[in-house]
Structure 1
């Protein structure tokens, strides 16, 4: 481009004055650019001053994992034999992917068999090892939180649980040592003690017989341990809800396996204390799950942890947290006034009833009151069912929960027999609240452990066929109850009884033996009913089934279910119970039960393997 550019200036000004006269009165003027070398030089100097580099510094390298460093890194899924290629090298900002600290501070950086220098995030092995390291004690307790979820609340819970685990272990170890009962000794017949007074008789003096007669009687007091656990409960309640619920469930994992090496009385005392502590801890957990909006993934992780807890066999707590979320379809419909019955029958689903534990109801009431949602509270209280409603309780236990399960599948044999007692006797445990001295709140103990039962007001006992249908559905979905021999004996006793006393004792009734034709037809019908229950999880019993001999038909249906139990697996555990009642049944009202059992094994189609069923010879002589 040329440097001399001509410029044409057009002017239509009337008062150009001296300008136009100076330029020969021209209205058009051609101007050539005149370059001032001094100005150009000065301008360049100013630009040079603006762009002058006064200081230089290399880029700051931020902390990074070894596999993200500019130094070469060799990846492998799981190689701990030694450093791979140049993996042992690191810069000043490289940190250990496992220890989460500078590589120079990692003591296991190049140790053969561990080799943290080979760790990277693309390996399943190394990522699992990092999660274990970051979660710390929570990982040892089998919590399944992701390492990215480890916030300040979970860190505080992890620290508290680790401290509590150490102190609890010391208290429990002291408890296991026991203490000697004072002034307890046995009379010694040995020669060296025959002429010694009673004061010195308690001492061990050289004779071999002394060891047998002079021994220590140890007693065990669980009070100190239980007080320490209660102190931790009170400390957990002071934390944030997220940290509190993790601390409570983690503490249960730490003390749930406590036992005693002492006598039966001490064992029973520990068992009762354990049940009380479990109920107190879970009451607080349920309250937190209702009162605070935890994320769905967090609740799912808590549910997974709770289901893995090794709860004792006599524990009556549900095996699921079983708290409906606020966005549950039935619960939300009730709150909005779209459902005024509290019941719902979906397509292809079981009948669902809004029934919740009293602790959960109380927590929901407090939550709705705090939110000033009194209209929703009124709708909820009108339809929710809890106690004194056996029909609602049965429907609720058999209603499917998320995950295609129902509460009945989590019942223990003791709980199942307690519910049979409730349904047949018309009595329920008397729930007495206890005062928590720590915070002044009322605590509701496990009702099924109550020794006092009272009549259910405004409710009649179930018909025996309804009780049997409930029992068969529970046996179909609950493998533990299905395999328990005492449950079958109690069920047969209930079905063959005229009524059940308030103490839960079935009073037997004498039933006449039906004709053989009726027995054959009814047995085939019972087999069809049980087959439908097994395949569809539904049970339908027509009125024709109970015509003629209704009591005998129910008993035959229960006996047929017992036969399926026998053929399902080895029946040695249950046969011992049945054989113990053999003489009693032959002399009392239970003769019909024994006869129905014999009827199935008399047929030629029933062939039992002698190796699998060693008691087949006993069945052959059943009717002798």
Structure 2
């Protein structure tokens, strides 16, 4: 890094430590004071020894600012606290062109929550348990529900997580439409309450003759398309997609007070067990045949076991229990 003083640039060296705990300030960057004379003269290197860092510097040149977390910036001082999300502390909002957001892992200038109230990513640093958890949640995304460590997440799992997030958003919209229902007039327009009046002439009880129908067909079609897409992905991504879909549809409720016989895909009480049957069959085959890492395999099994089946899936529960029995047996064998 080369600050200018009096029109001349001073050369200095940035040393990056592997162990941040050794630094009294908690920084991973150490600035060595500018040298008074060139080190390399006549092809001979004059050794300069820094006893505190146990390093020998034999050559240096004008430093270049490298990408760094905001708390490691040597241009703008940083104020540390355990958790402050209300507003920027001191000069924490100030950045240089290479400052990165610790939470988002992108340039601070591109962080939408850099100074946003209740977020304030500019105050984030690696010595805070709170901010470490926020970073893990941001980087893991939806995969956090599988209790995965950041070291467990590879490009395949992240692909499945990204597809699952898009699906959850689309599913939420379609499910809300289902909950609203659609008003359909009965086949007979005759008023049985007032038989002397002709069809459509009974304004007193017209609302009583309008039925509210809840068709699950739109949700069923969306989930089916998503499951078809999962079959084309690699095993890790597909497993994330299947497990996520199973959790979402298991939470769906039937708002109809009476049983509405609308067909297999249009009725939630028959559509959800059908979808769960397909998901379980695919997962069972995948977990047996695919060579998942043991830790990942166990976390997938553990997550699947936490899914609570709704009452309309009781008929499916025997297969559900049997599936896990064999998967647990396989786990013990391996």
TM-score (norm 2): 0.69
Tell me how far apart the structure 2 counterparts of residues 320 and 66 of structure 1 sit (CA, whole Å).
49
| Cα shift readout 1:549-594 (whole Å, capped 9, x = no counterpart) | xxxxxxxxxxxxxxxxxxxxxxxxxxxxxxxxxxxxxxxxxxxxxx
Deviation, structure 1 residue 175 = 3.3
CA 1:166 to 1:107, structure 2 compared with 1: closer, same or farther past 3 Å? closer
SS of residue in 2 equivalent to 1:109: coil
Corresponding residue of 1:133: 138
Q: Does 1:115 align with 2:120?
A: yes
Deviation, structure 1 residue 121 = 2.0
Q: Does 1:82 align with 2:82?
A: no
Equivalences for 1:391-406 in 2 at 5 Å? Answer: none
8 Å Cα contact 1:77/1:124 also seen in 2: yes
| Cα shift readout 1:328-370 (whole Å, capped 9, x = no counterpart) | 3xx36xxxxxxxxxxxxxxxxxxxxxxxxxxxxxxxxxxxxxx
Tell me how far apart the structure 1 counterparts of residues 81 and 132 of structure 2 sit (CA, whole Å).
13
Corresponding residue of 2:100: 95
Corresponding residue of 2:245: 251
Whose helix proportion is higher, 1 or 2? 1
Equivalences for 1:126-525 in 2 at 5 Å? Answer: 126-139=131-144, 142-176=145-179, 177-178=181-182, 180-185=184-189, 187-190=191-194, 194=196, 196-197=197-198, 201-205=199-203, 208-212=204-208, 215-262=209-256, 263-266=258-261, 269-313=267-311, 314=314, 315-316=316-317, 317-318=320-321, 321-322=324-325, 323-324=327-328, 328=332, 331=333
Deviation, structure 1 residue 234 = 1.5
| Cα shift readout 1:370-400 (whole Å, capped 9, x = no counterpart) | xxxxxxxxxxxxxxxxxxxxxxxxxxxxxxx
SS of residue in 2 equivalent to 1:242: helix
SS of residue in 2 equivalent to 1:164: helix
8 Å Cα contact 1:306/1:320 also seen in 2: no
CA RMSD of aligned residues (A): 3.2
8 Å Cα contact 1:249/1:306 also seen in 2: yes
Deviation, structure 1 residue 117 = 1.6
CA 1:74 to 1:327, structure 2 compared with 1: closer, same or farther past 3 Å? same
| Cα shift readout 1:157-210 (whole Å, capped 9, x = no counterpart) | 1221122223333433343413515523453444xx73x43xxx23553xx355
CA 1:162 to 1:108, structure 2 compared with 1: closer, same or farther past 3 Å? closer
8 Å Cα contact 2:164/2:240 also seen in 1: no
8 Å Cα contact 2:160/2:240 also seen in 1: yes
8 Å Cα contact 2:284/2:323 also seen in 1: no
Number of residue pairs the alignment of both structures matches: 269
SS of residue in 2 equivalent to 1:202: coil
| Cα shift readout 1:57-109 (whole Å, capped 9, x = no counterpart) | 62222211112233433322112243334433332211111122112222332
Corresponding residue of 1:59: 63
CA 1:86 to 1:221, structure 2 compared with 1: closer, same or farther past 3 Å? closer
Deviation, structure 1 residue 304 = 3.4
SS of residue in 2 equivalent to 1:277: helix
CA 1:112 to 1:211, structure 2 compared with 1: closer, same or farther past 3 Å? closer
8 Å Cα contact 1:184/1:217 also seen in 2: no
8 Å Cα contact 1:303/1:320 also seen in 2: no
SS of residue in 2 equivalent to 1:133: helix
TM-score (norm 1): 0.39
The answer for unaligned runs of 5 or more in structure 2 is 1-40, 45-59
CA 1:181 to 1:310, structure 2 compared with 1: closer, same or farther past 3 Å? farther
Deviation, structure 1 residue 260 = 2.5
Tell me how far apart the structure 1 counterparts of residues 122 and 173 of structure 2 sit (CA, whole Å).
38
Larger Rg: 1
8 Å Cα contact 1:179/1:219 also seen in 2: yes
The answer for unaligned runs of 5 or more in structure 1 is 1-47, 333-624
Deviation, structure 1 residue 274 = 1.6
Tell me how far apart the structure 2 counterparts of residues 325 and 91 of structure 1 sit (CA, whole Å).
56
Equivalences for 1:39-58 in 2 at 5 Å? Answer: 58=62
Corresponding residue of 1:73: 78
Deviation, structure 1 residue 114 = 2.5
CA 1:85 to 1:319, structure 2 compared with 1: closer, same or farther past 3 Å? farther
Which has the bigger relative contact order, CA under 8 A and spacing at least 6?
A: 2
Tell me how far apart the structure 2 counterparts of residues 170 and 110 of structure 1 sit (CA, whole Å).
31
Deviation, structure 1 residue 319 = 9.5
SS of residue in 1 equivalent to 2:321: coil
Tell me how far apart the structure 1 counterparts of residues 87 and 172 of structure 2 sit (CA, whole Å).
38
Tell me how far apart the structure 2 counterparts of residues 84 and 186 of structure 1 sit (CA, whole Å).
72
Corresponding residue of 1:8: none
Tell me how far apart the structure 2 counterparts of residues 148 and 234 of structure 1 sit (CA, whole Å).
29
